[in-house]
Amino acid sequence: MAAPRVTPVTHVVFDVDGVLIDTEHLYTDIIQGIVGKYGKTFTMDIKVKQMGRKEPEAAKVVIESLDLPLTVDQYLQMSHEQQEKLFPSVELLPGAECLVKHLHKNGVPIATATGSHTQSFELKTSGHKDLFSLFHHCVLSGDDPECKHGKPAPDCFLLAAQRFPDNPDPSKVLVFEDAPNGVEAAHAAGMQCVWIPHKGINKETHRHLATLVLESLEDFRPEMFGLPSYDS
């Protein structure tokens, strides 16, 4: 199946973890630290299944996949304790600051849509408040009452579009994602998607759903989608 055709867009929505900020390796370390206590290994196959989902759903995937003797609440408490230590110092990924500032400067409406809940999002972005203040809004599907289902359902991306003042047609919205679940969600929402696969993920599994597959945000050229070029 061929990838979706590139057409001009007017609005941009970013996933956060693994696209704008370098948290995915921290999540891996945190989860392995938890499951390792029970002699288990957090594999890439499990990571792919839980990436992008609402936090309780992601926790359930890990618990059930590894048959852990933990409730979701117990697992999340252990995870949150480590997040509070590690997340405030998280760094931006290459190309993130440049692209976000460029789009904002040129009047392109931008938003984020993530599976995170408010507390986690604030921890992760606390060192980059100036950059995240440039977004028109942030959809935090982890605890947003209007977001009924996490990725791979399209809810968070559709909400992100609806919350722009002009409520653009989904076909005019470009999504940036790193997780296969997120690519599925963008496709289900009827949006084009630039996929920047997390290291270790098989690029062939979801290539047909992504409009464009890149190694880094640094490789993105806005003019491909009818957006202002870096030279403008």
Q: What is the pLDDT of residue 172?
A: 98
Cα–Cα–Cα angle for 180, 185, 189, rounded to 5 degrees = 150
Structure tokens at 34: 């938890």
Structure tokens at 139: 């959809």
Q: What is the pLDDT of residue 201?
A: 82
Query: CA-CA distance, 152 to 157, in Å (whole number)?
Result: 10
Query: In this structure, is the dihedral angle defined by the CA atoms of residues 170, 172, 176 and 180, taken in order, positive or negative?
Result: positive
What order do you get walking across the sheet with 173-177 strand by strand? 137-140, 110-114, 11-14, 173-177, 192-195, 212-213
Question: Can you give the pTM of this predicted structure?
Answer: 0.91
Residue 15 annotated among the catalytic residues of the structure: yes
- Domains of the chain by start residue, with CATH: 11-22+90-225 (3.40.50.1000), 24-88 (1.10.150.240)
Please identify which of the residues 17, 29, 45, 67 carries the catalytic annotation.
17
Please identify which of the residues 15, 29, 144, 231 carries the catalytic annotation.
15
pLDDT in tens, the chain (232 residues): 667 789 999 999 999 999 999 998 999 999 999 999 999 999 999 999 998 888 899 999 999 999 999 999 999 999 999 999 999 999 999 999 999 999 999 999 999 999 999 999 999 999 999 999 999 999 999 899 999 999 999 999 999 999 999 999 999 999 999 999 999 999 999 999 999 998 778 778 788 999 999 999 999 999 999 999 998 6
